[in-house]
């Protein structure tokens, strides 16, 4: 099985960059509709959420299949989550705000969903920086695990950011979809923790 997972790992992690390549290419060639900047911003944000869901799905998938090799995908997908979130932030700061720092600060104060989005991104930074084996040795496994458990806080904040952003247009379809997916993953985690606690 291990020999079959490694090619799958390479394929999935390389494919994860495909949406970003397509979105940027379409934006630069004016193929994202009447408002390409907004389409690029939202597309990158949604793919950050998709990557987050895939990252959180690795542990349930590993437990369900009994194949520990699936864990090989978790770090790469987590880094792609950060990469998409960073691109989302760059497009906001560049196309929406023109790199105007005072304007960005004012926007954070005036619009709560921007504040939540910024907080979500900054919570991702320490996890991205400590996603390598050397960080586990430097921090110790216990502290490292505690830090990376904050990914669940990131998930909640990302959902709130997405909900508030979509509420402006009263468009909640994708919000409920992501909420359902993340809820299933969290329920699985809670159920697994309960089973471990009950085990003799």
CA distances from 67 to 77, 90, 181 (A): 17, 37, 22
Burial-class residue 195 by CB neighbours within 10 Å (0-12, 13-18, 19+): exposed
77 in Cβ contact with 55 (< 8 Å): yes
What confidence tier does 5 reach under pLDDT thresholds 50, 70, 90? low
Instruction: Return the pLDDT at 199.
Output: 64
Instruction: Return the pLDDT at 3.
Output: 44
Instruction: Return the pLDDT at 31.
Output: 94
Contacts 24+ apart (CB under 8 A), 160-166: 160/113, 160/116, 161/113, 161/116, 161/117, 161/120, 162/45, 162/46, 162/49, 164/112, 164/113, 164/116, 165/42, 165/45, 165/113, 165/117
Q: Higher confidence at residue 50 or residue 167?
A: 50
Asked if residue 2 has pLDDT above 80, the reply is: no
Instruction: Return the pLDDT at 6.
Output: 67
């Amino acid at each position: 099985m291990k020999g079959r997972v490694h090619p799958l790992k390479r394929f999935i992690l390389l494919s994860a960059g495909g949406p970003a390549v397509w979105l940027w290419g379409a934006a630069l060639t004016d193929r994202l509709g009447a408002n390409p900047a907004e389409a690029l911003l939202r597309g990158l944000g949604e793919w950050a959420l998709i990557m987050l869901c895939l990252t959180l799905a690795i542990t349930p998938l590993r437990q369900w299949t009994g194949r520990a090799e699936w864990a090989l995908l978790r770090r790469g997908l987590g880094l792609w989550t950060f990469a998409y979130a960073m691109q989302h932030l760059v497009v906001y700061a560049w196309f929406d705000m023109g790199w105007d720092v005072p304007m960005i600060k004012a926007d954070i104060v005036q619009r709560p969903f921007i504040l939540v989005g910024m907080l979500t991104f900054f919570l991702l930074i320490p996890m991205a920086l400590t996603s390598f084996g050397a960080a586990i040795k430097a921090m110790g496994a216990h502290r490292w695990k505690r830090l990376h458990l904050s990914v669940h806080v990131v998930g909640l904040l990302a959902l709130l950011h997405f909900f508030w952003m979509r509420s402006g247009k009263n468009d909640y379809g994708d919000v409920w979809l992501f909420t359902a997916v993340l809820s299933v993953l969290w329920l699985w985690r809670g159920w697994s923790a309960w089973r471990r606690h009950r085990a003799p």
